[in-house]
Amino acid sequence: MIRVEGLCKAFGDTQVLDGVTLDVATGESCVIIGGSGTGKSVLLKCILGLARPDAGAVLLDGDSVTRTGREAFLSRFGMLFQGAALFDSLPIWENVAFRLLRGPLRRPRAEAHEIAIEKLRRVGLSPDIADLYPAELSGGMQKRAGLARAIAADPEIIFFDEPTTGLDPIMAGVINDLIRGIVSEMGVTALTITHDMGSVRAIADRVALLHAGTVRWQGTVAEMEATADPYVTQFIEGRADGPISALR
């Protein structure tokens, strides 16, 4: 279980996170929604240790994820970045097998290659693209290759950062289905940040709305559809008028 406790982070005078508290149960797919600039990515970076929170803690199975425990946390973890963040200088299969070619999870090169091909197949990519470089792939293919990299080492926890941003609706649907399938099949704990309601409905077991630096509302997808909370209804209906200011 991942527990975020009272996380605060400010940049200068701007308080981006103001005491975020959130629990993600083991095997659960939690989706954090919220408008642009509400701190979703900052929250993810604080959990990962890419940004240092001003206050609060991140607990994994009850233990604090401190700097020393971060390595252990990351070794159980996979992430799909918004722009896929594939390494330009490496062919696709080496990107996918990155973790398997170095570090404690290191495997023989041939075995790592075989696993990379299997993971590429799992996300619907042909082995023919394994030796291409990221710049030679379309955005959707890069995203799928990024997903293959996220699951290459069979992680227990996967984070998805805006998984469908920049994709056409059909490719977004493909990515959503892949994420849902992989999360269910591997039984992983998933944390997704998005403002794509299609993704929310396809991926989420539970939804949390981040607003003004705190978790404003949380519940299941069914509860989200039925709630009268003005913040949630404004967000899911995409209305400009409501308590969430359109000017940010």
Minimum CB–partner distance for residue 217 and other proteins (Å): 28
Contacting residue, 58, 86, 178, 203, with other proteins by CB under 8 A: 86
DSSP for 22-63 reads EEE-TT-EEEEE--TTSSHHHHHHHHHTSS--SEEEEEETTE
The pair phi, psi for residue 138, each rounded to 5°, is -75, 170
**Which CB sits closer to other proteins, 103 or 198?**
103
CA distance 158 to 65: 16
Contact 128, 102 (CB under 8 A): no
Minimum CB–partner distance for residue 153 and other proteins (Å): 9
**Which CB sits closer to other proteins, 15 or 75?**
75
Minimum CB–partner distance for residue 229 and other proteins (Å): 32
Q: Is the dihedral of CA 68, 73, 76, 81 positive or negative?
A: negative
Contacting residue, 25, 26, 37, 50, with other proteins by CB under 8 A: 50
102 in contact with other proteins (CB under 8 A): yes
36, 15, 72, 85: which is closest to 235 by C-alpha?
Answer: 36
230 in contact with other proteins (CB under 8 A): no
Contacting residue, 103, 108, 198, 230, with other proteins by CB under 8 A: 103
The pair phi, psi for residue 7, each rounded to 5°, is -75, 130
**Which CB sits closer to other proteins, 84 or 210?**
84
Q: Which stretch in 96-104, 182-190, 194-202, 203-211 sits in contact with other proteins by CB under 8 A?
A: 96-104
CA distance 207 to 229: 13
Minimum CB–partner distance for residue 82 and other proteins (Å): 7
Q: Which stretch in 20-28, 46-54, 174-182, 191-199 sits in contact with other proteins by CB under 8 A?
A: 46-54
Site for other proteins in 132-191 (CB under 8 A): 149
One-letter amino acid of 14: T
CA distance 22 to 171: 30
Number of residues that bind other proteins (CB under 8 A): 24
- Token output for 146: 């990024």
Contact 188, 158 (CB under 8 A): yes
Q: Which stretch in 1-9, 87-95, 115-123, 185-193 sits in contact with other proteins by CB under 8 A?
A: 87-95
Residues that bind other proteins (CB under 8 A): 45, 48-50, 71, 74-75, 77-79, 81-83, 85-89, 98-99, 102-104, 149
